[in-house]
Structure 1
Amino acid sequence: MNFSDILNDYAPYKGIVENLNNTPVSVAGIVESAQGQLIYSLKNENKSSALVVCYSDMEARKLYSDMELYSDNVLYFPTKEYIFYNIETSGHQNEHARISVIQKLVSGGDYIVVTSLDAILQYTCDKEEFKSLCIDFELGKTFNLEKLTENLVVMGYSREDSVEGAGQFAIRGGILDIFPVGNENPYRIEFFDDETDSIREFDTYTQRSLDKIDFARVTPANEAVITDEKRDRIIAELEKRIRSAKRKKSDESYFIETTESDIESFKEVRYFPSIDKYVSLVYDKIPSITDYFSDNDLVFIIDPKRISERGKTFEWEKNEVVAELKEKGIIGAAKDSFYCSYHDKVHEMSVKKLISLDVLSHSSTDFKYKNLETFTTKTTVSFHGKIEYLYEDLRNWQSENYTVAILCTSRGRGENLAGVLVDKGIRARFIGDDANKANFNKGETVIIKGELNKGFEYPEINFVLVSDREIFETKKSRSRRKVENANRIKNYTDISVGDYVVHQTHGIGQYMGTKKMVVGGITKDYLKIQYQGTDSLYIPIDQLNLLYKYVGNTDKKLKLNKLGSNEWNKTKQRVKQSTEELAKKLVALYAERERAKGFAYSEDTPWQRDFEDTFPYQETDDQLRSIEEVKGDMESQKPMDRLLCGDVGFGKTEIALRAAFKAVGDSKQVAYLCPTTILAMQHYETFLKRMESFPIKVEMLSRFRTASEQKRILKKLKTGEIDIIIGTHRILSKDLEFKDLGLLIIDEEQRFGVAHKERLKELKQNIDVLTMTATPIPRTLHMAMTGVRDMSVLSEPPENRYPVQTYVLEDNPAVIADAVRNELSRGGQVFYLYNRVQGIYRKAEWIRSMFPDITVAVGHGKMKEDELEDIMYDMVNGKTDVLVCTTIIETGLDIPNANTIIIENADKMGLSQLYQLRGRVGRSNRAAYAYLTYHRDKILSDIASKRLRAVKEFTEFGSGFKIAMRDLEIRGAGNILGPEQHGHMDAVGYDMYCKLLKESVDEAQGIKIDDVQDVAIDINIDAYLPESYIRNHNQRIDIYKKIAAIETEDDKFEIEDELIDRFGDIPRAVQNIIEVASLKTYAKECGIYEIAQSGDNLLMKFGENYVDANLIMGLDKMFPKRIKLLSGDKPVISYAIKGEYKKILNIVNNLLSTIKELQSAEKDSIIKS
């Protein structure tokens, strides 16, 4: 038998099956945890799809999560957020998730769709229109590219330079890149003339092709599809409404202004944020997700009484919304409708095969039933982590011939449990990883890999299902879905015109774009860099590796260097000297740490593995690697001094927990130092919860403890009765003594004062130290400090949280009031960020005036520390509804119930600040919202305007996100290196600083630095990227960077493959750039720092100690009468070209190959002698 067969002999179940053609049927007595299994079984009996309707989104998500145990064909259809105001929005995750469900339904196959009542009453794509607009690509099929482009725009796709997210497309020559909504990867479709020649999937991060496929379907990307005919009809109706409004005596100016603006939006961009208010003009009859189900499909109503209550509330809310929008001038006609009628929907579902499921008795509802069935089910009780209770229940169940299925979250845990049960004399077997294919016999106990929120029992048929969540008290883990590419973007290197750049030799200038120049009949691309005064420098594009984008302090205008002056060299020398001092200090500290003897912890115990199994989520690769690095340090003889870097929510605390458990396992004490009382309290509660099943004593020391409690804790620490102490700087006090401290965990060390840091130095001696920081660390700094600082970096999020829906808008009190009201109505809390102490209390009063019955608190940095902490404590504990505050909430706070943040004057804040502030919400299983506002009609400064444009691009794959990440990383670098080094970083730019630091660290460690670091090759060949080949400026720069980074043959083949894949066949001028870049690596190995064509000669300039008599004689022998050694400070070898100009690349290649062979032969002879 399997999960679908469990109920086959159960009379009430058979009664439902017999009446599937005589519905509606009401089923009572079915507990929540058993509902998924019943739905799965009935859907299989009916051989159809099924729609499951819950009264709320939260209940729908819970049931969807349970349904995943039984079937892979389960889909979740979320509600969408309607937007009635013209505000910029980022992120369309919910809408894309809805379209993804529709796409699967129209593609065929039987699915179970779980949703909420609100979602089925909202509009979605019209079924027939959706199917008619789908475009199928097959090999050999022909398309008119111009017409295809128009169709994609109508379908809601936006045209971009490159495709980075769902709903985008790009066309380059005969190549179409498109990311259909609902796909895991985008498609790259190549045309030969108008015929489909090739279809491939590609990766948005690398922009490289993955697998070839024969077929690709592209579905609409928007739920309100605006065809040309519809657009014309809507515009005509809106113009009619404007004429009518102008004739009225009442003030209709706001309606006229917004509607005229919307008409322009329809004409220019077709789709815009507030299009929801015109849904009744888009569709004659509001289409719904229910339209996608046939009369033979099953419809399940979960908790019909609550559905009926929600339906009535929904109708009232709908009427209120329409009235309010009409009153505010948002819409012009009270007849406009945005939703389906609840009562019409009840009737529509009732004529399908409707089954309602109720936990208790049959209740009076809006649904009229033809048949009633009553089940007897129970939820299983929790074992509270006491496995002996499980043994007892299993023996009782087996004595009564029960069929018992136990779900375990991992295969390892399942196999271990099976072994333990057999050792206890309990018959049990582990039967595999796939719950929906599991087969077992009646009366046996089986263990299956799978997850369920809670177990259930059918006592009348002797069946029970137990979840390991009830045995071990873990949360249901969330499956890891594919991480959006945004979270993988860590280097923002696009250079735009006007950006500051740093040239290795000439210093800080301003990039003014690329220029194609013909010199002596040869065409090349050059970068124009503006320096002080009227000085400009044209740099050959193949020397792009000598240029860095300036990353540092850009809040004020930078002073450009002057060409020809010594100023840049002096600055660079000053910074180099500083990095040398820092490197010596770091190397000395590291060497001292290497020599020190600490405690070597034993390998992991079975308890350690049991503890780690209680982690309710799946670890990321970064987490697993970091955990191994920390454990490796702890098990070695030298004391650990590791820095753990990662953004808030990336899983640092779990690594700290495992390290702490390991330390206590070897009878050592652990101290966890936090920068604030609130954080100490939150970590204390986390540690208590995770360790409650183990004999480990955890305590907290902060001002929340009374004097007598503190005295008792100090005494127990000294005697070793406390294993783990969590606290603020109070644990650094001299009166605190440990019996045997083994591990110190420090959260955000940079937030502690000088005196505290000195005390930390004393504590750190000969114990293991794990320091954690929430600011991401750039890879370049990580690499520069390799060998002098042990670092673990968490750069991928642990799971896909509900994304933060972000809106950017002019100040609009109505929108803000709606945002606050919506959050409070779902029992949540709100952050209102007002970053000026002056006026902050007035802002709080304004919110109180709108919502007199709520609790509004104010928090800012000028308050006394204790007062501020009390306010934060109330927010954490849910006593405050709205916290009006400054940027004090930027880091550290974890308040899962706060899921709306409003940021006033967002244009005045840095992007990294906005990124971190936005991260305060969206830390739970609820949708989260961020509203970024700026003053209405404000004339913005140039810097603020640029920042605001970037804020508007603040999407998961927009450049604003990349800048924010880069900015944050630089801040992280400053935290690690200290304020003095931060100043040096600003002086030369971040990338140049990292280069100098890497050199200094290598020198301090005795690693030889190459004499020849950069090679210049200037030969007479066309070398440029034609605009006809790559049109977009940033893409051209990106490709130039990749070409400049060629170091091996594999690198060369890689870039050639990428160019062919993304842009088509490589033109000769582009191939020349690649060949020159490849030759540079060869030249560097030979000790050549410059190759230049001068008239009829090719000059090769060498570093010291690379040229001797044997090399000259060898070259002369291979190339008679062509080789000369020229006199000068450094050796220069001249080669006479003698008219072979067209073969110049081959000549250089042959020369370098010969030089390499001769130099290798010379080395071999020295070694032999």
Structure 2
Amino acid sequence: MLKDWQAFQELATRFAAGEVCLRVAGLGGSARALVVAELLHAQSRPILVVVATLADAHRFAQDLRFFGAAAHEFPEREPQLWKGGHHREAEAERALIVRRLTAGEPVAVVVTPAALDTALPAPTDFRDGTLRVGVGDSLDRELLLEALEKAGYERVDTVVEVGQWSARGGIVDVFSPIHPSPARIELFGDDVESIRLFDPTTQRSTAALDELVVLPLAPVADTADNATRLLQYLPPAAPVVIDAPKLLEETSPEAPGRRPLAEMIADRPRLELELLTGDAADVTLETLSVDPFSGKFDRLLDEVRRWRAEGFSVRLAAADPNQAEHLKQILHDHGIDVPIVESLEAAENLGIVVGDVSGGFVVPAVGLVLLAESEIFGARRRTLRRPKYQRGAALTAFTDLAVGDLVVHEDHGIGRYLGLRAMRVGDKDADFLILEYAESNQLYVPVDRLDLVSKYLGADAGAARLDRLGGASWQRVKESVRAALREMAEELLKLYARRAVAEGHGFSPDTPWQREFEAAFRFEETPDQLRAIEDVKADMQNRSPMDRLVAGDVGYGKT
């Protein structure tokens, strides 16, 4: 992308030569991440980026990913709030980054000085502590469980989070950060019969593995003899980018024992990014900031026309596909059709690119203009993406149940949940829910038929009677419910037949002003909110009477 920029080519040449210190001036905002991403693409070694705060780390890593770089935020060590307690998600992220560095992957790792000084296991200890389990291997089950404990994994009844493991007979579940979901190891004696990834919510298999790699997650004390730091995992020639050179002169009052950054990165090639130009700079890369338009589309289009007339390629960033389509429609309303393009390097000189970037810039030397979504619409506050609610009270995870809870099986009625048991069926191990019915009879439900079981919802749970397996009482209950539902359905059909022929008021479709007003909304809607909005609008434009209930948490956007 920057290959025709002479100043950048000079920087890339000197950077590849490993100059000890290069001071680069003129870069502002996300243009810094663009330059680092281009340098990373041009070489086969990792880059370390040091920023001032965790917020800066998140923003810089996000920008790097927008420009196509493999980027990771290296977490700081959080305080241990209870004996033996540590933050496994952060340990998992650190372990994953360390593994990628040891594998020689050309990645960008974004850190704060505090994170850079976080204690890690020595490279030999990390390598020796990494467990590998392959299909067909012979291993001692008890030694495997001991190794998981030693590696810092937590034993639980049901694995749902990274860094956990459980064991039931010949089945061992473990959630390694290598994979997006936990893995199930099935043993037959001492032989590994199969390894499968599974959904922790439904317990159903999603993929088969030939080998499972379990990374060590046990935290290392700062004072441990084998403690090392992140820099020990980088090749000696791997450069360090300092996003704020003033960090080199600072010490931390919150951690007086922490080594100064200048001492930690001594003797490593480094790139210092200065915002302002100056005589002290080794290379100056001129970029310009852009004024925010904050939803003023007439002014935005005037600027876009001017940039295009001057030969610039203009890219408008939208954080997600929905917002990209929204922006495309608004621009169409203003008389200009803008395609959604795959990347910044697409052939079109005007396009919408999907991706989240902190800010835009102008690079006069290569004729590139980038506008971030926040500059187009105004600053938007991100909405926390909650997981979707489960369907009613249907059982979708073992964590929904406690031993002794009443449940309802679709075919057999009310029973009591007694727990989970691993059993061998034919030549395979499988997990079953154990349900107790009247007269102490038991039903074994395989986990892949979890959809047949739901929690009992009656208010009189204490007085509820267990059904008999094979008895007629549950069938009589189902028949009476069917009859009541049939009667209700007939009444509803008559009601809706009358409403279907009734005529109400139909509202007009959205106008350009309506779309601009919505685009300026300072909160980011969730997918469910967007779907509800579109459904309600469709109802309002229909002349038939509207029948829709919008339900949601208090303070979660219904109005």
Of 78, 83, 90 in structure 2, the residue corresponding to residue 81 of structure 1 is: 78
Partner of 2:442: 541
Of 176, 201, 214 in structure 1, the residue corresponding to residue 172 of structure 2 is: 176
Higher relative contact order (CA 8 A, sep 6+): 2
Deviation at 1:123, TM superposition (A): 2.2
Partner of 1:647: 553
1:196 equivalent to 2:192? Answer: yes
Partner of 2:231: 290
Q: CA RMSD in A?
A: 4.6
Which digits, 9 at most, give the CA deviation of each residue in 1:283-321, with x for residues without a partner? Answer: 21542222221222121111121x246x42x2x3224xx
Q: Distance in 2 between matches of 1:390 and 1:101?
A: 41
Where 1:152 maps in the other structure, the secondary structure is helix
1:341 equivalent to 2:258? Answer: yes
Asked if the contact 2:294/2:374 (under 8 Å) is kept, the reply is: no
Deviation at 1:134, TM superposition (A): 1.3
Q: Distance in 2 between matches of 1:543 and 1:590?
A: 44
Query: CA 1:280–1:404 in 2, change beyond 3 Å: closer, same or farther?
Result: closer
Query: CA 1:355–1:511 in 2, change beyond 3 Å: closer, same or farther?
Result: closer
1:472 equivalent to 2:377? Answer: yes
Which digits, 9 at most, give the CA deviation of each residue in 1:393-413, with x for residues without a partner? Answer: 334334444344443444535
Asked if the contact 2:159/2:166 (under 8 Å) is kept, the reply is: yes
1:626 equivalent to 2:532? Answer: yes
Deviation at 1:187, TM superposition (A): 1.7
Query: CA 1:72–1:401 in 2, change beyond 3 Å: closer, same or farther?
Result: closer
Which digits, 9 at most, give the CA deviation of each residue in 1:217-267, with x for residues without a partner? Answer: 21123333xxxxxxxxxxxxxxxxxxxxxxxxxxxxxxxxxxxxxxxxxxx
1:374 equivalent to 2:311? Answer: no
Of 115, 119, 127 in structure 1, the residue corresponding to residue 111 of structure 2 is: 115
Partner of 1:130: 126
Of 7, 10, 18 in structure 2, the residue corresponding to residue 14 of structure 1 is: 10
Where 1:341 maps in the other structure, the secondary structure is coil
- 1:383-462 to 2 correspondences below 5 Å: 383-409=293-319, 410=321, 412=325, 430=339, 432-435=341-344, 438-440=345-347, 444-460=349-365, 462=367
Asked if the contact 1:527/1:538 (under 8 Å) is kept, the reply is: no
Please tell me the residue identity of whatever aligns with 1:317. E
Query: CA 1:508–1:177 in 2, change beyond 3 Å: closer, same or farther?
Result: closer
Asked if the contact 2:121/2:227 (under 8 Å) is kept, the reply is: no
Please tell me the residue identity of whatever aligns with 1:291. Q
Please tell me the residue identity of whatever aligns with 2:255. K
Deviation at 1:188, TM superposition (A): 2.3
Asked if the contact 1:99/1:182 (under 8 Å) is kept, the reply is: no
Deviation at 1:489, TM superposition (A): 9.8
Which digits, 9 at most, give the CA deviation of each residue in 1:124-183, with x for residues without a partner? Answer: 343331222112233333322221111111111223333222112233443332211252
Please tell me the residue identity of whatever aligns with 1:471. I
Asked if the contact 1:121/1:288 (under 8 Å) is kept, the reply is: yes
Query: CA 1:160–1:395 in 2, change beyond 3 Å: closer, same or farther?
Result: closer
Where 1:355 maps in the other structure, the secondary structure is strand
Where 2:549 maps in the other structure, the secondary structure is strand
Deviation at 1:620, TM superposition (A): 5.0
Which digits, 9 at most, give the CA deviation of each residue in 1:339-358, with x for residues without a partner? Answer: x7323x42231311211112
Where 2:120 maps in the other structure, the secondary structure is coil
Deviation at 1:119, TM superposition (A): 1.4
- 1:667-816 to 2 correspondences below 5 Å: none
Deviation at 1:499, TM superposition (A): 5.2
Partner of 1:317: 254
Where 2:42 maps in the other structure, the secondary structure is helix
Q: Which has the larger radius of gyration?
A: 1
Please tell me the residue identity of whatever aligns with 2:241. F
Percentage of identical aligned residues = 27
Q: Distance in 2 between matches of 1:546 and 1:85?
A: 38
Where 2:548 maps in the other structure, the secondary structure is strand
Where 1:317 maps in the other structure, the secondary structure is coil
Of 218, 226, 240 in structure 2, the residue corresponding to residue 299 of structure 1 is: 240
Deviation at 1:24, TM superposition (A): 1.7
Please tell me the residue identity of whatever aligns with 1:412. E
Which digits, 9 at most, give the CA deviation of each residue in 1:323-348, with x for residues without a partner? Answer: xxxxxxxxxxxxxxxxx7323x4223
Q: Distance in 2 between matches of 1:466 and 1:214?
A: 45
Which digits, 9 at most, give the CA deviation of each residue in 1:460-489, with x for residues without a partner? Answer: 554432334323336397998xx8799789
Q: Distance in 2 between matches of 1:342 and 1:92?
A: 25
Q: Distance in 2 between matches of 1:289 and 1:587?
A: 66
More helix by share: 1
Deviation at 1:49, TM superposition (A): 0.8
Deviation at 1:33, TM superposition (A): 2.4
Deviation at 1:21, TM superposition (A): 1.9
Q: Distance in 2 between matches of 1:16 and 1:450?
A: 26
Asked if the contact 1:17/1:45 (under 8 Å) is kept, the reply is: no
- 1:584-595 to 2 correspondences below 5 Å: none
Partner of 1:44: 41
Q: Distance in 1 between matches of 2:235 and 2:454?
A: 62
Partner of 1:217: 213
Q: Distance in 1 between matches of 2:208 and 2:96?
A: 22
Aligned residue pairs, count: 514
Query: CA 1:43–1:648 in 2, change beyond 3 Å: closer, same or farther?
Result: farther
Query: CA 1:362–1:188 in 2, change beyond 3 Å: closer, same or farther?
Result: farther
Which digits, 9 at most, give the CA deviation of each residue in 1:1026-1063, with x for residues without a partner? Answer: xxxxxxxxxxxxxxxxxxxxxxxxxxxxxxxxxxxxxx
Asked if the contact 2:19/2:270 (under 8 Å) is kept, the reply is: no
Q: Distance in 1 between matches of 2:364 and 2:85?
A: 55
Asked if the contact 1:301/1:357 (under 8 Å) is kept, the reply is: yes
TM-score under structure 2 length normalisation: 0.76
Deviation at 1:207, TM superposition (A): 0.7
Please tell me the residue identity of whatever aligns with 2:254. E
Query: CA 1:97–1:502 in 2, change beyond 3 Å: closer, same or farther?
Result: closer
Asked if the contact 2:88/2:217 (under 8 Å) is kept, the reply is: no
